[in-house]
């Protein structure tokens, strides 16, 4: 049970830091990653508890999490190339 | 008592259960065709401007839509074509209006009419789910128990609001003077002549659909609009714009019409129909006159439109006849209608005689003001005062406006 | 790729399969929307990416909770039997709400709608078309599997507020893309509200919205103006073109004789039949404000 709560705390803190990140874009990508890892951890616990839970699905989640992160990094790089900084504040937010 | 109009003196004919006519809708359909013919004649000068093809197709489209509107029996499809009539009118105002303010006027008209008619859509769908039928000729008997209560009031009001805005009732009339001032001649003619009558027609249909109890909403609406009509006839006296004056005068007439309709007496119904026909032809003629003056003088202001008697003696004749009709002078259809309405309103309450007295007095006042201020006086300095002769086309157009006003009086049991 | 991922996502019964489809959809959409390597488009893509990643994170979390409570991965074949769920109803409802939340985030419905205007403002017209029409398809369908009486209140609030926000937000806009973004939020509100009444209605609404907004967007794309400043007036086009343009806008607003009215009609009919008058009234107020700013666009074009 502690593991469940711990992983949910990781997921939610990842979401909250992603939402409240206001300085560096890299920080928000990192918190996104943290959220995905928390979800992976949560899923491994779930698959242990439930009968018939398949562990290999966790690998798919992990794979797609990495895929997402690499897309985020690619966008990040091209953003830095075009804007010169990675501050969230350079976004035109309207 | 209420529904007698659609069954008593009239006759009915329906085809395929979709279209149907009784004497009320038939007389209004004649009005539609009459006015659209007049519109063609009045906007003859567009021929030279090159955009006449699209203009005439819009007018034809509008005529067809209005014909359908007066002959469809299903309430929902009626709503559909009722709204559809807005689009060609908007196009007429936007495409052939005079000033840049026509955009504001057009959006006023659109917003007022659409926002009032969305409750009608909800109401029609509610009628369908509550009563199971939305045919105009089938009458729902409403118990006196059902007519009480706030929900029923909101329901009735949502069914009537679209037509009250279209008529327009005082408080919801602001779009009308703007639209009239900015519209081309044909646009104001059809607006005053037919589109306002669409509101009256819808109101009568909705009220006859709920045959039965007299509802509190009726008295509130009727008295408010009579009061508004009195105010409006005072407003008319200080208008400096000829078209705006005529527009306000039609608000006043329509206020009287709503009062008579809401009094719940058969004479009120008969009078409403008569005044719809009379006012349709009469105000359309007045707008045509104002448009002709605008073509000659390039102004609608009563300060500039002076001494037309010197310039256009034959036009003065038509101004005189139509102004007399507008103030409900003796040999006109307006007189019959107003008598019917006044007697029905007085049968509702005697205290309203004060309002009606002021209203009739000032109706005479502003019609005379309109006539005198445009025809008499000195000609503006910048006009060279040579007498202009009107063409036969123009004369015949005004003749056709005037004829039904003074000839239908021989046969008022429509 | 966008199309294939949509089909993948909708044809899989497994919740994780749906999630995979959503991810693929996001990846492919971003990859073609930033093709021109424009300064702005990268920024728009990044914003879109962050929101969508967060949304699919919510979806994933919700689906784990769903699995935990139901013991099944299959969203639409599972018969919810509350007798077997003693003690787990709360988790089940929470799972549903979290999944719906993720979908609202992906759609850009009421509480998290701010990204839609700012993303659409910086994208090309073609990406805007895809974003406003096609990208709504998967989340809407998934949402329709999730709704139920226990989330009625949430859905109604989201629907009415999206419609109102879509109306108010566009009122003072001078940029056409932002205006279209707000209008798409408003239509989204109608679809979410309608979802509780009738499934066929949503499909009709979506289809009509697709066609009409496609034509409006194509008009705007064709003439490539991004703000009112560049609209030089109808004399450039001719009167008949102007009339077509304004009729398109009126159709999007749902004025009666046009196609757009069909969707409003179906929606209102369903709402009145199920007795939710206040929902209908709220949505109509939003639609009126939509009509108001469409009218402003038409008037500005026709000067």
B241: which strand partners? B301
Q: Output the CA angle B46-B51-B53, nearest 5 degrees.
A: 95
Among C256, C272, C295, select the one facing B122 at the smallest CB separation. Answer: C272
Indicate if the pLDDT at residue C208 is higher than 90.
yes
Chains contacting A (3 or more CB pairs within 8 Å): C
Q: Give the structural domain span for B121.
A: 16-410
Q: Which of A64-68, B228-232, C80-84, C244-248 has the highest mean pLDDT?
A: B228-232
pLDDT in tens, A27-60: 888 888 888 888 888 888 888 877 666 778 888 8
Would you say residue B4 lies in a domain? no
- Mean residue pLDDT of chain C comes to 82
In a domain, B34, yes or no: yes
Classify B20 as helix, strand or coil: strand
Which CATH number belongs to the domain containing residue A21 in this structure?
1.10.287.3510
ipTM summary value: 0.88
Q: Do B125 and C268 touch (CB under 8 A)?
A: yes
Chain A residues closer than 8 Å to C178 by CB: 94
The model's pLDDT over C83-132, given as tens digits with 9 standing for 90+, comes to 665 667 778 888 888 888 899 998 988 888 888 888 888 888 888 888 88
Note whether residue B6 is domain-resident. no
Rounded to an integer, the average pLDDT of C76-89 is: 62
Task: Report the distance separating Cα C193 and Cα B261, nearest Å.
Answer: 39
- How far, in Å, CA of B55 to CA of B43, rounded? 9
Residues in A whose CB is inside 8 Å of some CB of C read 11, 14-15, 18-19, 25, 28, 32, 35-36, 39, 42-43, 46, 49-53, 57, 60-61, 64, 67-68, 71-72, 75-76, 78-79, 82-83, 91-94
What tokens appear for C234 in the block? 């109808």
Q: pLDDT, tens digit, for every residue of B282-324?
A: 999 999 999 888 888 878 888 777 878 878 888 888 999 999 9
Query: pLDDT-based confidence at B63, cuts 50/70/90?
Result: very high
Q: Collect all residues with Cβ–Cβ distance below 8 Å to C77 and sequence separation of at least 6.
A: C13
- Residue C16: both structure tokens together: 């994780």
Going from N- to C-terminal start, the domains of chain C cover 1-132, 147-303
Q: Which of B135, B270, B253, B276 is nearest to B199 (CA)?
A: B276
The mean per-residue pLDDT over the stretch C30-42 comes to 76
Number of domains chain A is built from: 1
Q: Are B192 and B199 in contact (CB under 8 A)?
A: no
Quote the CA–CA distance of B287 and B186 in Å, as a whole number: 9
Quick check: B394 pLDDT over 90?
Answer: no
- Give me B320's structure tokens: 């005189």
For residue B14, the cross-strand partners are: B20
> Does the CA dihedral C41-C46-C50-C53 come out positive or negative?
positive
Whether the predicted pLDDT of B5 surpasses 50: no
B90 vs chain C: nearest CA distance in angstroms?
11
B206 Cβ contact list (under 8 Å, min separation 6): B159, B160, B163
Shortest CB distance from B83 goes to which of C256, C268, C295?
C256
Q: How many domains, chain B?
A: 1
pTM above 0.80, yes or no: yes
- Backbone phi and psi for residue C73, each to the nearest 5 degrees, phi listed first: -95, -5
Statement: residue C279 has pLDDT above 90 = no
Tokens of C151: 């989330």
**Boundaries of domain holding A66:** 2-90
Q: Which of C20, C32, C42 to mutate to test the interface with A (most CBs of A within 10 A)?
A: C42
Residue C119 distance to chain A (closest CA, Å): 9
- Look at residue B1 and tell me if it is in a domain: no
Of A39, A79, A94, the CB nearest to C61: A39
- Examine residue B11 and state whether it is found in any structural domain, yes or no: no
Cα B285 to the center of its chain, rounded Å? 12
């Amino acid at each position: 049970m502690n593991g469940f709560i711990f992983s949910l705390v990781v997921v939610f803190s990842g979401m909250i830091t992603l939402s409240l990140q206001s300085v560096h874009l890299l920080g928000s990508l990192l918190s996104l990653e943290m959220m995905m890892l928390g979800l992976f951890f949560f899923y491994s616990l779930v698959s242990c508890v439930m009968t018939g839970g398949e562990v290999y699905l966790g690998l798919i989640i992990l794979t797609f999490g990495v895929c997402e992160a690499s897309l985020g990094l690619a966008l990040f790089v091209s953003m830095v190339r075009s804007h010169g900084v990675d501050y969230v504040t350079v976004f035109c937010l309207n | 008592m209420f529904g007698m109009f659609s069954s008593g003196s009239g006759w009915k004919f329906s085809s395929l259960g979709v279209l149907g006519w009784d004497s009320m809708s038939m007389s209004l359909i004649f009005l539609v065709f009459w006015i659209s013919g007049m519109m063609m004649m009045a906007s003859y000068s567009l021929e030279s401007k090159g955009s006449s093809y699209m203009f005439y197709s819009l007018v034809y489209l509008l005529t067809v839509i209005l014909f359908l509107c007066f002959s469809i029996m299903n309430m929902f499809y009626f709503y559909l074509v009722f709204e559809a009539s807005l689009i060609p009118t908007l196009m007429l105002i936007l495409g052939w209006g005079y000033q840049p303010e026509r955009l504001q006027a057009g959006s006023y008209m659109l917003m007022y009419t659409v926002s009032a008619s969305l409750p009608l859509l909800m109401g029609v769908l509610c009628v369908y789910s509550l009563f199971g039928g939305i045919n105009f000729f089938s009458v729902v008997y409403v118990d006196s128990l059902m007519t009480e209560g706030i929900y029923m009031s909101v329901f009735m009001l949502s069914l009537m609001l679209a037509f009250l805005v279209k008529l327009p009732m005082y408080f919801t009339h602001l779009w009308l003077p703007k639209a009239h001032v900015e519209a081309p001649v044909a646009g104001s003619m059809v607006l005053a002549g037919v589109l306002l009558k669409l509101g009256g027609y819808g109101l009568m249909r909705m009220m006859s659909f709920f045959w039965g109890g007299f509802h509190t909403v009726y008295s509130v609406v009727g008295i408010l609009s009579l009061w508004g009509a009195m105010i409006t006839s005072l407003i008319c006296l200080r208008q400096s714009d000829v078209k705006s004056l005529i527009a306000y005068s039609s608000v006043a007439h329509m206020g009287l019409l709503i009062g008579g309709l809401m009094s719940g007496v058969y004479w009120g119904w008969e009078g409403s129909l008569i005044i719809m026909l009379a006012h349709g032809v009469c105000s359309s003629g007045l707008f045509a006159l104002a448009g002709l003056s605008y073509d000659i003088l390039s102004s609608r202001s009563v300060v500039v439109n002076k001494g037309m008697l010197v310039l256009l003696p034959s036009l003065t004749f038509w101004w005189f006849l139509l102004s007399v009709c507008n103030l409900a002078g003796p040999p006109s259809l307006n007189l019959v209608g107003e008598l019917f309405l006044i007697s029905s309103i007085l049968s509702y309450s005697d205290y309203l005689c004060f309002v009606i007295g002021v209203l009739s007095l000032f109706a005479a006042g502003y019609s005379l003001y309109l006539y005198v201020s445009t025809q008499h006086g000195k000609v503006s300095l910048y006009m060279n005062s040579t007498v202009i002769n009107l063409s036969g086309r123009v004369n015949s157009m005004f003749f056709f406006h005037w004829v039904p006003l003074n000839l239908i009086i021989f046969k008022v049991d429509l | 790729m966008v199309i294939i991922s949509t089909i993948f996502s909708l044809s899989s019964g497994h919740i994780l399969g749906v999630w995979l489809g959503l991810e693929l959809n996001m990846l492919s959409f971003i990859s073609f929307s930033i093709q021109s390597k424009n300064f702005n488009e990268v920024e728009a893509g990044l914003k879109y990416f962050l929101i969508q990643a967060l949304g699919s994170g919510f979806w994933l979390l919700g689906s784990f909770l769903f699995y935990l409570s139901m013991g099944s991965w299959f969203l639409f074949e599972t018969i919810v039997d509350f007798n077997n769920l003693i003690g787990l109803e709360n988790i089940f409802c929470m799972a549903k709400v979290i999944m719906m939340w993720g979908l609202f985030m992906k759609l850009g419905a009421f509480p998290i709608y701010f990204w839609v205007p700012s993303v659409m403002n910086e994208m090309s017209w073609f990406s805007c078309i895809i974003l406003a029409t096609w990208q709504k398809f998967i989340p809407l369908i998934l949402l329709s599997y999730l709704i139920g009486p226990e989330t009625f209140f949430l859905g109604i609030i989201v629907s009415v507020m999206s419609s109102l926000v879509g109306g108010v937000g566009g009122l003072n806009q001078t940029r056409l893309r932002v205006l279209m973004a707000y209008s798409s939020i408003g239509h989204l509100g109608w679809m979410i509200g309608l979802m509780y009444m009738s499934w066929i209605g949503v499909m009709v609404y979506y289809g009509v919205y697709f066609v009409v907004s496609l034509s409006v967007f194509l008009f705007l794309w064709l003439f490539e103006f991004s703000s009112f400043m560049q609209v030089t007036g109808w004399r450039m086009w001719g009167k008949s073109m102007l009339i077509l343009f304004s009729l398109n806008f009126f159709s999007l607003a749902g004025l009666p004789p046009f196609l757009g009215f069909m969707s409003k009609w179906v929606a209102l009919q369903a709402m009145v039949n199920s007795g939710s008058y206040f929902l209908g009234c709220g949505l109509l107020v939003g639609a009126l404000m939509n009509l108001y700013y469409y009218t402003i666009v038409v008037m500005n074009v026709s000067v």
